Amino acid sequence: MRHGKKFNHLGRTASHRKAMLSNLASSLIMHKRINTTIAKAKELRKYVEPLITKAKDDTTHSRRIVFSYLNNKESVKTLFDEVAEKSSQRPGGYTRIIKTGTRLGDNAEMCIIELVDYNELLLGEEKPAKSKKRRRRSGKGKATKAEAAAPAVEEPAEEVEASEEVEAKVEEAEVVEEVKEEVEEAAEEEIEAKAEETATDEATEEESSETKEEKEDSEEETKE
């Protein structure tokens, strides 16, 4: 009876399933991102994340335990030397699953499973958490006359950020316009320089032709 065995067997025997997850985990550690089915990715997440947590404690004992799961010296070395250091400040959740649609043929749901700390695009978009400002009030209904006469108007943080973004965009547009103007000026200068060069070349050619004609005339005169 299979009572309580609720994990996904993936249609494989125990030994085949273990070997497949070991190979998938090694590939994920070495390449940082792999393409597989969603069912395999969910099982791989449960298989590889405890190994990354174990790798934070770099001891001979933990290396031997991780090697018993991966059976690959290169992936164990990469895990302890690179991945563990980069994920040292993250308390779990080391992987991300991104769905990519279905596969042609069997229509299986496909995805990309990756290590979170190696996706530079998404890491760059993350913004630091905003600090919440709290104000203490000494008592209710004890506002001063000056505050009642001229209440202070404070702009919300979102409006301030929006105005800063607008100013930054305006500055960028000005910089782009300045660069365009500089490029156009440089192009005009190049055209003028080329025109001057062509004019000088034409003048030299005319002078050379005139000198040739003079020489020919002088030769004819001498012959006569």
Report field, pTM of the whole predicted structure over 0.85? no
More confident of the two residues 190 and 21 = 21
| pLDDT, tens only, 151-189 | 444 555 666 666 777 777 777 777 777 777 777 787 788
More confident of the two residues 132 and 96 = 96
Residues ≥6 apart with Cβ < 8 Å to 63: 76, 80
User: Are 111 and 98 contacting, i.e. CB atoms less than 8 angstroms apart?
Assistant: yes
Radius of gyration, alpha carbons of the chain:
37
What type of residue sits at position 36?
T
Q: What is the largest CA-CA distance in the chain?
A: 129
pLDDT bin (cut points 50, 70, 90) of residue 73 is: very high
Per the prediction, the chain carries an average pLDDT of: 83
- The DSSP string of 141-163 is T---HHHHHS------HHHHHHH
| pLDDT over 70, % of the chain | 81
Arithmetic mean of pLDDT, 14-32: 96
Q: Is the pLDDT of residue 210 over 50?
A: yes
User: Are 97 and 33 contacting, i.e. CB atoms less than 8 angstroms apart?
Assistant: no
User: Are 79 and 52 contacting, i.e. CB atoms less than 8 angstroms apart?
Assistant: yes
What type of residue sits at position 185?
E
Residues ≥6 apart with Cβ < 8 Å to 67: 73, 76
Query: What's the count of helices (H) and strands (E) in the chain, helices before strands?
Result: 8, 3
Arithmetic mean of pLDDT, 31-52: 96
| Distance from C-alpha of 186 to C-alpha of 192, rounded to nearest angstrom | 10
- Residue 124 is predicted with a pLDDT of 67
- Residue 153 is predicted with a pLDDT of 47
Residue 38 neighbours by CB distance under 10 Å = 15
Pairing verdict, β 33-37 and 109-115: antiparallel
